[in-house]
Amino acid sequence: MSELTLEAMQRDCEKLIRNSEIRKWNQSYFFNFYDRHTGCGAFIRMGFLQNLGESNCWAIFFRDGKPLFLRSNMNLPYTQDRPDPGVTLAGITFKVEKPLQSCRVTVAHEDFSADLVWDQLFELCDSIHVGKDDKSDDDAIGRELSFYHPEGVCSVKGALRLKNGETVTIDTTGWRDISAGPRNWSGLHHYRLVWPIFDNGMACVAVHGITDHGHSYQKILHDGTRWMAIDRMEEEIEYYEDGVRFKSGHWKIWDETGRLWDFTGKPMFHWHYPFDTFMMVEQMMEFRLADGTLGYGMGEGGFNFPWRGNGN
């Protein structure tokens, strides 16, 4: 088994990290973007569960609120391949170009293809540790979902080729994340998160999990100059009648310096992913700060079955 120090996970997180002691040991990699100029966006993920012998992946692309390409494979055979030096699942490839800074993502299909590169704008920051404080009632996210979970804001550049022969050039920003640790969805009743990137340079990771024991958080913010912890956050989420899709939201976030970042959000596209007795619903959202500054990014909710609630 690889040494499970934080330093080792930081160094090797894009490579294979073995762990035979944690039954639901997971490594996963996630990328998203939204390009306001083309109306195109995507959610792309791979996950690897070593001791369950499973891999999973999805690549969901959309334009103007309608799907362009939909591929979800939630229970594939396990592979030891990782983005460094390269991994392909069901026609989706992740390949590190510069460790912890640049990664190429490609999708190959006869009716659709994508070739995109995520290049670091702000260095990856581990929201499990930087965002940890002593005010949380529970540390379920760190205990149940990930020991190490860095996120980063990136430029996203490349092209999509559509079934009708059209080529769409992408030049925008987006997020990536990396995870190493357990992935026990049943440990959470529900979680909700937002990852906005605003035009003034502010970006944040605001995750709120609800468990039998209380509340758990991942909370970091980049103010355009540096990463910092979020001291406190409040959220109000309105759902559609199904109780799982965001209809609108209002977030108040106080960073470690005491500044308040007050913003609202509304979804432009929804998609959901089944994990047996758990479901994730992702939405690409338009956000607006109280001063009118626009931002774009993901909102996500996770829901446990039998139904454990949606946090409202």
What's the whole-model pTM score? 0.95
pLDDT, residue 6, reads 86
**Half-sphere exposure of residue 94, counting CA atoms within 13 Å on the CB side?**
27
What is the per-residue pLDDT for 30? Answer: 98
Domain boundaries, the chain: 6-304
Q: Spell out the residues 6+ positions from residue 82 whose beta carbon is closer than 8 angstroms to its own.
A: 14, 15, 16, 27, 48
User: Can you give the pLDDT at residue 1?
Assistant: 45
Report the sign of the C-alpha dihedral through residues 259, 140, 178, 107, in that order.
Answer: negative
First to last CA, the chain: 41
- Please list the rounded mean pLDDT of every run of 10 residues in the chain (312 residues): 77 96 96 98 98 98 98 97 98 97 98 98 90 58 87 98 97 98 91 98 96 87 96 97 98 98 98 96 98 98 96 92
What is the pLDDT at residue 213?
Answer: 78
pLDDT at position 241:
97
Determine the pLDDT at residue 129: 81
Q: In angstroms, rounded to a whole number, what is the distance separating the alpha carbons of residues 252 and 286?
A: 16
